């Protein structure tokens, strides 16, 4: 998305948003590929292998935890299984029509991922999926694995979450606001100033991607990618690996699982090299940090421990001295790098885009920023007062959720609300995009209306919206970085709005293309056909 910038103060904080980075293949091709994949899987009777965001070779399909389907709940039990906000029966009542018929008569003839995808009518109302989302996102690890950012089995995910969650405490977040988020955002503004002065347009998707890479590097390992300023082999490697992860999520066949092919196909050779560079860099950072922690005999003092000279998550994790190997630590950190980089960059891109299309919302957000901060840097406490801007970000995540689809693989046979019969090894895909844009779920579903989320009410999440709003997913696999990401996005936009005005470069046809997140693209389609097409694409991408 290209934008034109102008310095704030005198005339304006104006930046022109314009065209786009087609990172991924054009949408129609993606959706055809997935269809073909599903048909092939059905034909060959192999479990689906759609993966998003994994590094390196994918693990083998997990063995079922329970080989005895009779251990499953009876239908009465099923109906009364509680999900914290109601039983399945109540959930079904959330939609007027309940779940639509979805080829449930002959489930054994189909692979469920195909079955579920094919039988939800396109465009789906979103309401059906909301009900399913309510139920299976909150089911414990043992029953479903696979997430948007990796396929780790239940235990692996639990270990990872237990390891990283304590590091994201409030004190850490407030230190990050000051030491990392504000500084990186200011650096972005400095980088944009020349564009503003010269009246040149700028690709904001690229700039936000660089910003969020710098932020996540500093926060995770106190490593400055400095991608806003420079190019380096490590930055190249990160982008190559991320792009590969995204491409794999839409490849027709997972040919890259074959060891030999990984050694001869140029794209795979490049990807393997990139992953090696990243792994070695992170291993080096871990080793260095470990040396310092050991030399200082550092001991953690309390749950909200932050080291002043190095407040990173790596330092916290090493100082806690939990039983975790360097390889595990490296993989925890890399999964956070993948999960936390492009997502936040995309949220920033689309929020800016939406604000550029709605001058009254933009004016309100700018006014709030000026009133609350009066030109000073935002602190952790100030963020609570930036209510309108925060709702703009929520509304942007409603319209453009990243990732647009959540994936789970069933480890045991199950029956979801609406009598969706699920067999072991089958994939279930929930289109967050459809839920978030469903007219049965939202009034003015396609409109950008930040006020729909009460400014004085609680921050919207999956629980207080009954799974109508699930940008960070929900249940045991919910995003661990939700608070971090929200703060990062609020601070970046605040500093951006304080310093720059912006407008879209006129006459652009901005569209979407999906990978692990929704990217902007100027390969556009118009009107109803385009929307219809996207609905379809996002349901199965």
484 binds ligand HEM (CB under 6 A): yes
Give the shortest CB-525-to-ligand HEM separation in angstroms: 25
**Measured CA distances, 218 to 181, 271, 312, 379 (Å):** 10, 24, 7, 18
Looking at the Cβ atoms of 18 and 390, the one nearer to ligand HEM is 390
**Alpha-carbon span 217 to 225, nearest angstrom:** 6
List 479, 490, 497, 500, residue binding ligand HEM (CB under 6 A): 479
344 binds ligand HEM (CB under 6 A): yes
Give the shortest CB-470-to-ligand HEM separation in angstroms: 7
Residue closest to ligand HEM (Cβ): 481
157 binds ligand HEM (CB under 6 A): yes
Give the shortest CB-336-to-ligand HEM separation in angstroms: 4
176 binds ligand HEM (CB under 6 A): no
**Alpha-carbon span 92 to 496, nearest angstrom:** 43
> Is residue 531 helix, strand or coil?
helix
Give the shortest CB-49-to-ligand HEM separation in angstroms: 16
By CB under 6 A, the count of residues binding ligand HEM is 29
Q: Are 257 and 265 in contact (CB under 8 A)?
A: no
Q: Which residue has the tokens 């082999």?
A: 233
> Is residue 142 helix, strand or coil?
coil
Give the shortest CB-56-to-ligand HEM separation in angstroms: 16
479 is in an annotated binding site: yes
Cis peptide before 123 (omega within 30 of 0): yes
Structure tokens of 168? Answer: 């994201």
Q: Which span sits near ligand HEM by CB under 6 A: 20-28, 155-163, 169-177, 441-449? A: 155-163
Looking at the Cβ atoms of 145 and 366, the one nearer to ligand HEM is 145
477 binds ligand HEM (CB under 6 A): yes
Query: Binding string, 345-384, against ligand HEM, x = CB under 6 A?
Result: --x-------------------------------------
343 binds ligand HEM (CB under 6 A): yes
Question: Are β-strands 500-504 and 2-7 bridged in parallel, bridged antiparallel, or unpaired?
Answer: antiparallel
DSSP 2: E
Question: Are β-strands 15-18 and 2-7 bridged in parallel, bridged antiparallel, or unpaired?
Answer: antiparallel
Q: Which residue has the tokens 């995309």?
A: 346
Distance from first CA to last CA of the chain, Å, rounded? 22
Burial of 339 (0-12, 13-18, 19+ CB in 10 A): buried
Which residues fall in the annotated binding site? 479
Binding residues for ligand HEM (CB under 6 A): 137, 147-150, 157, 160-161, 335-336, 339-340, 343-344, 347, 397, 402-403, 406, 471-473, 477-481, 484-485
Which residues fall in the annotated binding site for heme? 479
């Amino acid at each position: 998305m290209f934008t034109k910038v102008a310095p704030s103060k005198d005339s304006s904080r104006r930046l022109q948003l314009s065209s786009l980075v087609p990172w991924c293949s054009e949408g129609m091709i993606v959706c055809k590929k997935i269809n073909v994949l599903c048909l092939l899987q059905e034909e060959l009777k192999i479990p689906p292998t759609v993966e998003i965001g994994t590094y390196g070779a994918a693990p083998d399909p997990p063995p079922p935890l329970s080989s005895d389907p009779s251990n499953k709940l009876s239908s009465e039990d099923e109906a009364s299984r509680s999900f914290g906000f109601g039983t399945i029966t109540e959930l079904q009542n959330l939609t007027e029509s309940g779940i639509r018929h979805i080829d449930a008569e002959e489930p054994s003839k189909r692979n469920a991922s195909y079955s579920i995808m094919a039988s939800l009518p396109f465009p789906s109302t979103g309401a059906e999926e909301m009900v399913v989302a309510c139920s299976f996102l909150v089911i414990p690890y043992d029953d479903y694995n696979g997430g948007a950012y990796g396929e780790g089995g239940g235990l692996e995910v639990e270990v990872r979450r237990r390891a990283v969650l304590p590091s994201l405490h409030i004190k850490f977040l407030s230190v990050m606001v000051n030491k990392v988020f504000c500084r990186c955002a200011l650096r972005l503004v400095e980088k944009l100033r020349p564009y503003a002065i010269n009246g040149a347009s700028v690709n904001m998707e690229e700039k936000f991607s660089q910003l969020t890479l710098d932020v996540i590097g500093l926060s995770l390992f106190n490593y400055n990618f400095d991608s806003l300023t420079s190019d380096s082999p490590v930055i190249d490697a990160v982008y190559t690996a991320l792009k590969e992860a995204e491409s794999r999520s839409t490849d027709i066949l997972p040919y890259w699982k074959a060891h030999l092919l990984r050694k001869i196909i140029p794209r795979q050779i490049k990807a393997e090299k990139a992953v090696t560079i990243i792994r070695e860099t992170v291993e080096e950072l871990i080793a260095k940090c470990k040396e310092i922690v050991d030399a200082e005999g550092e001991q953690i003092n309390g749950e909200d421990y932050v080291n002043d000279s190095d407040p990173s998550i790596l330092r916290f994790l090493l100082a806690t001295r939990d039983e975790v190997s360097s390889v595990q630590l490296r993989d925890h950190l890399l999964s956070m790098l993948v999960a936390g980089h492009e997502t936040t960059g995309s949220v920033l891109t689309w929020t800016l885009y939406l604000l550029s299309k709605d001058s009254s919302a933009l004016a309100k957000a700018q006014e709030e920023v000026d009133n609350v901060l009066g030109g000073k840097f935002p602190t952790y406490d100030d963020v609570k007062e930036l209510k309108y801007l925060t709702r703009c970000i929520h509304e942007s995540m409603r319209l453009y959720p990243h990732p647009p689809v959540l994936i789970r693989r069933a480890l045991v046979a199950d029956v979801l609300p609406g009598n969706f019969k699920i067999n072991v090894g089958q994939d279930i895909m929930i289109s967050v995009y459809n839920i978030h844009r469903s007219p049965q779920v939202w009034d003015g579903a396609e409109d950008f209306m930040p006020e729909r989320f009460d400014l004085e009410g609680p921050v919207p999440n999956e629980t207080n919206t009954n799974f109508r709003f699930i940008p960070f997913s929900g249940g045991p696999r919910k995003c661990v970085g939700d608070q971090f990401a929200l703060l990062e996005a609020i601070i970046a936009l605040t500093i951006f709005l304080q310093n720059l005005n912006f407008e879209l470069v006129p006459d652009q046809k901005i569209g979407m293309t999906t990978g692990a997140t929704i990217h902007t693209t100027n390969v556009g389609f118009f009107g109803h056909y385009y929307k219809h097409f996207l609905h379809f694409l996002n349901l199965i991408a």
